[in-house]
Amino acid sequence: MHPYQDATRPVAERVEDLLSRMSLEEKAGQLFHSMLMMNADGTPVTETDGSMLPFSTPELVEARHLTHFNLLGTYGAREMALWHNAVQEMAANTRLGIPVSLSTDPRHAFTDNVGASFNAGAFSAWPEALGLAAIGDPELVFHFADTVRREYLAVGFRTALHPQIDLATEPRWARQTGTFGSDAKLTGELVRAYVRGLQGEELGPDSVAAMVKHFPGGGPQKDGEDPHFAHGKEQVYPGGMREHHLEPFRAAVAAGCSQMMPYYGQPVGTDWEEVGFGFNKGVVTGLLREELGFTGIVCTDWGLLTDSVIFGEKHVARAWGVEHLSVAERTAKSLDAGADQFGGEQCPEVIVELVGSGRISEERIDESVRRLLREKFVLGLFDERRYVDPDEAAETVGRADFKAAGAAAQRRSLTVLTDGPLPLSGRPKLYVENVDPAVAAAYGEVVAAPAEAELAVVRLRTPYEDRPNRFESFFHSGSLAFAEPELTRILSLLGTVPTVVCVNLERPAVLPEIAEQAAALIADYGASDDALLDVAFGRAAAEGRLPFELPRSMAAVEAARPDVPNDTVDPVFAHGHGLAI
């Protein structure tokens, strides 16, 4: 037995022993955190068509020496556990047997975006992070994160690519649904609870490591566009609120978060270098490492180095501000900035080339590999936590009490903006839109047309502009206002029958006319039809308060400063609004 395989030895000693045995190629593989998909039956993908992933699982694990992966797609719990074990077995059979560390974007709510999150599927379903913010209860967030931890551990996920603690200050930005809203103080309180729920009091074999994102705060995007795409690369601070956006990250570091992800954004008009944060030494080393004292792993956001193909369409590397550099030069600049690992990349040969040319020292590579190996040892991946039990996974994921807690949180998160006839009573004749008629039938007599109804219940989503690129179409951007002819159709319905309108706020909808004419208006952030109707009929209490303001017009949105919370003139509903019924 080699010393690194001996669980009785101190972690630091095990790390140094393993590091001393690694080739440069094996070290280089550790610096990449790439994506995998699996077959629905729980077997690894051994061939790829290149439409999403350029390499098969054996190519990445055996030939390219990668040991960090995030799983794309939604699958059954037992199948995920079987897949995890199969990938671990593949890794165990490599020369040094370094275990894989598996990660995932959020999986416990309703949003399904291959670039950001997955719907709950087999896992317990909770409101989006915005809904947790609407409740504003740190103990609930701790309970949520602890549930996530237990369900993730069951299938083998050991790193959560969350929480996302950017401040929702630009109403048009596509990523707000994953945040805790616009309040920096509340976000700080909730991230402390979240990290504690995932990691425990300290990182160990029963922890899921928290990769907090997106440092130093990705909210203030110019025109609200997202820096996954070149037209959204600029991040601006016209209100001078840069320090304000750092507040939640100070809380996350103080809470002991294990990992941190810098964002894609390229700061413009500040004293920071005008390059994406993953290449930005003043931000990663100067601010995060030296000023905030962060000692954990820094992993870049996905796809900073190389161009990629997503859904068969080409996407350029998100190398904002360094587009002119070669892949090797970008890699070196990010390492110089202080990054340990590259998300969504799989080019270890570039690291080998940089060391061979003398541009990057092997000692610099060792510095990052030490951090990455240490976490594997601390999480127990070399020991008792290498494999999971598929039967236990099937029993744990989506357990009845987890689902019940998530369902209760959905109800609590609903935000009553205007109450009108609420709570409803009796069994009225109901006309419904975007509500399952079979669910509604438990609350009233469902009718086919508004003219036949005594009451309507209608669910709407915050508007967005269609984007032609398939991947970008998942990132709902652009106008927040209901457009014609849909607005006239909605208002005609509201004029025909008293209507309870529920709008899903993945972003702050512009809805002054709807708010004025609806019999009652409720906001949701991910909630089932049962949850909505339970609240409407007084069977459950809504506790939500708006986690951001709802603007009066798009002109007000365009005039607001993207780094300043709740900055639109005369909002229809202010931040924190919500009624008790």
Assign residue 459 a region: left if phi > 0, alpha if psi is -120 to 50, beta otherwise? beta
Annotation marks residue 307 as catalytic: no
**Alpha-carbon distance 70 to 52, whole Å?**
13
Please give the single-letter amino acid code of residue 482: F
Please give the single-letter amino acid code of residue 383: D
Q: Measured between alpha carbons, how far apart are the two ends of the chain, in Å?
A: 65
Give 41: exposed, middle or buried? Use CB within 10 Å, 0-12, 13-18, 19+. Answer: exposed
Partners of residue 461 on adjacent β-strands: 504
CB count within 10 Å of CB 580 equals: 8
**Alpha-carbon distance 189 to 251, whole Å?**
8
User: Does residue 212 contact residue 191 with C-beta atoms inside 8 Å?
Assistant: yes
Q: What three-state secondary structure class fits 501? A: strand
**Number of Cα atoms under 13 Å in the Cβ half of residue 299:** 30
CA–CA–CA angle 545, 549, 552 (5° rounding)? 135
Smallest CA-to-CA distance from 531 within 383, 369, 403 is with 403
Q: What three-state secondary structure class fits 89? A: helix
Q: Quick one: DSSP state of residue 330?
A: H
Phi, psi of 418 (to 5 degrees): -135, 140
Tokens of 5: 């395989």
Give one DSSP letter per residue of 416-428, joined into a string. EEE-TTPSP-S--
Partners of residue 446 on adjacent β-strands: 430
Bond before 547 cis per omega within 30 degrees = no
Partners of residue 261 on adjacent β-strands: 213
CB count within 10 Å of CB 326 equals: 11
What are the angstrom distances between the C-alpha of 522 and each of 170, 295, 344, 557? 22, 43, 38, 22
> Which of 183, 301, 340, 524 is an active site residue?
301
What are the angstrom distances between the C-alpha of 161 and each of 81, 190, 208, 249, 343? 19, 16, 10, 15, 11
> Which residues are marked as active site?
301
